[in-house]
């Protein structure tokens, strides 16, 4: 019984080592040779770029909301009142 447990543990350790080796080889062949520090620095740079893009977009939206000349509709478009409707042009009638 103890021999079977030892063989089982040896098999588990060998499978784990083979898996680690395959993962390392796969990562190395895909060009993932960056260190942890370079990966963290790249992630921080990407996050800062995304933050700057969000900030610029928010500034543009705020500028659009504040600008009174940026109207999408004509405020007098629905008006149909004619001020000269009741004016008599011919004084002889």
Taking residues 74-87, report their average pLDDT. 76
Q: What is the pLDDT of residues 23-68, one digit of tens each?
A: 887 776 665 566 777 878 888 999 999 999 999 999 988 888 777 7
- Classify residue 23 by burial, with Cβ atoms within 10 Å: 0-12, 13-18, 19+: exposed
What lies within 8 Å, CB to CB, of 33 at 6+ separation is 27
What lies within 8 Å, CB to CB, of 34 at 6+ separation is 42
For the chain, what are the domain ranges? Answer: 9-66
In the 8-state DSSP scheme, what is residue 76?
T
Residue with the larger pLDDT of the pair 15 and 72: 15
pTM as predicted? 0.39
- Is 83 in a helix, a strand, or coil? coil
């Amino acid at each position: 019984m103890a021999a079977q447990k030892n063989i089982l543990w040896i098999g588990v350790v060998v499978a784990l080592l083979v898996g680690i080796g395959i993962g390392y080889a796969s990562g190395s062949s895909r060009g993932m040779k960056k260190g942890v520090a370079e990966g963290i620095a790249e992630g921080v740079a990407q996050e800062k770029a995304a933050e700057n893009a969000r900030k610029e977009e928010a500034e543009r939206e705020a500028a659009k909301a504040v600008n009174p000349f940026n109207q999408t509709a004509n405020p007098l478009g629905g008006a149909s009142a004619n001020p000269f409707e009741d004016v008599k042009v011919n004084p002889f009638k």
